[in-house]
């Protein structure tokens, strides 16, 4: 399978859409892709409303991260801290 190049913000939009489509993901309001600049490894951090099932959200994040890693490679782009969300994430998946 060919992996496509994608930017961080596009990957965040796809991840949010995928997570929300899974059970428990409807409580997720936003996601942030955290990137290790040297290795280009990334993880998904999810932010959401109270009342969600944390195990269902973690499962949705895990499944989404696995699926997106098989389909996409991140573009090398200049990383800045602009627009970072200071709230603690509900769950993360490395």
- Would you give per-residue pLDDT tens digits along the chain (94 residues)? 688 999 999 999 999 999 999 998 899 999 999 988 777 788 999 998 888 889 999 999 999 999 999 999 888 654 444 444 555 566 666 5
pLDDT at site 66: 95
User: How distant is the alpha carbon of residue 34 from its chain centre?
Assistant: 8
pLDDT at site 10: 94
CATH code for the structural domain at 4-78: 3.30.300
pLDDT at site 30: 95
What span, in angstroms and rounded, lies between the C-alpha atoms of 11 and 15?
6
pTM for this structure?
0.76
């Amino acid at each position: 399978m060919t992996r496509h190049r994608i930017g961080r913000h596009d990957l965040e939009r796809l991840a949010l859409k995928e997570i929300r489509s899974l059970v428990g993901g409807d409580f997720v309001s936003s996601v942030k892709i955290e990137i290790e600049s040297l290795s280009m490894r990334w993880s998904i951090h999810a932010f959401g409303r109270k009342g969600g099932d944390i195990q269902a959200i973690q499962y949705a994040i895990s499944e989404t991260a696995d699926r997106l890693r098989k389909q996409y490679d991140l573009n090398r782009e200049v990383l800045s801290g602009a627009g970072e969300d200071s709230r603690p994430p509900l769950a993360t998946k490395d």
